[in-house]
Amino acid sequence: MSNRQTRSKISLRVMHGDSIAIGPGKADLLEGIRDTGSIAAAGRAMQMSYKRAWLLVDTMNACFKEPLVLTSKGGASRGGAELTALGEDVLKRFRAMQKTVEASVECEMDALVDLLAD
Amino acid sequence: MSNRQTRSKISLRVMHGDSIAIGPGKADLLEGIRDTGSIAAAGRAMQMSYKRAWLLVDTMNACFKEPLVLTSKGGASRGGAELTALGEDVLKRFRAMQKTVEASVECEMDALVDLLAD
């Protein structure tokens, strides 16, 4: 894969009305929360403020029938957070959709990348 | 298609580094420019300021090897604009990619939409 192709990629988002229910950033954040047990730590690893990370979680939780992330209060570290069963499920589904989408337009994307500036 | 499915959709973007080379909004804007011959008119039809529409055009033009939109100076109406051959080509390719992507994850998207809030 050339350097140019590495820099260019397809980005997939699932819109729910005007909100992004889930997209690449929110999926990365879910993985970070799953791995660190903390919204703050997951956000930090993505160079994101706690407020921003919390807002993304809040949007996801509001877009789905049930929350994707549960938080527990208390402690000096602003409490913990974990994915719900629905959170794990949505993350898995979105990652699978990303792979399917990338494969479905691989040739078209290669051709488009050739038209992009260096 | 249910009302819920109408409100929820896949959104595809082509990223070039940190810039969106083309996405749904930019594709709609290209179509508007092609149809109206004017960045201002195309932006207005999308409830977008002239400045915002111009910025989107500027980003697209910078992302590709050659401009997608050419503008001509002068006149009271801020001059005209038209798609270049590359602009027409990129628009066509992006619309085709959108269709392929939507078809590739139609079942997965239906299942995910069932998990979204009403």
Q: Do B14 and A10 touch (CB under 8 A)?
A: yes
User: In whole angstroms, how far apart are CA A108 and each of A113, B12, B90, B91, B93?
Assistant: 9, 13, 11, 13, 7
pLDDT digits (tens, 9 = 90+) for A86-116: 999 999 999 999 999 999 999 999 999 999 9
CB of B93 within 8 Å of any CB in chain A?
Answer: yes
ipTM of the complex: 0.87
Q: Is A118 exposed, middle or buried (0-12, 13-18, 19+ CB in 10 A)?
A: exposed
- Chain A, chain B: beta-carbon pairs less than 8 Å apart: 116
State whether residue A1 sits within 8 Å of chain B by CB. Answer: no
- In this complex, which of A8, A105, A118 lies closest to B97 when CB atoms are compared? A105
Does A55 contact chain B (CB < 8 Å)? no
Q: Tell me: the pLDDT tens digits for B2-61? A: 555 568 999 999 999 999 999 999 999 999 999 999 999 999 999 999 999 999 999 999
Ordered structural domains, chain B, with CATH: 3-114 (1.10.10.10)
**Range list of β-strands (E), A1-118:** 8-16, 19-22, 69-71, 81-83
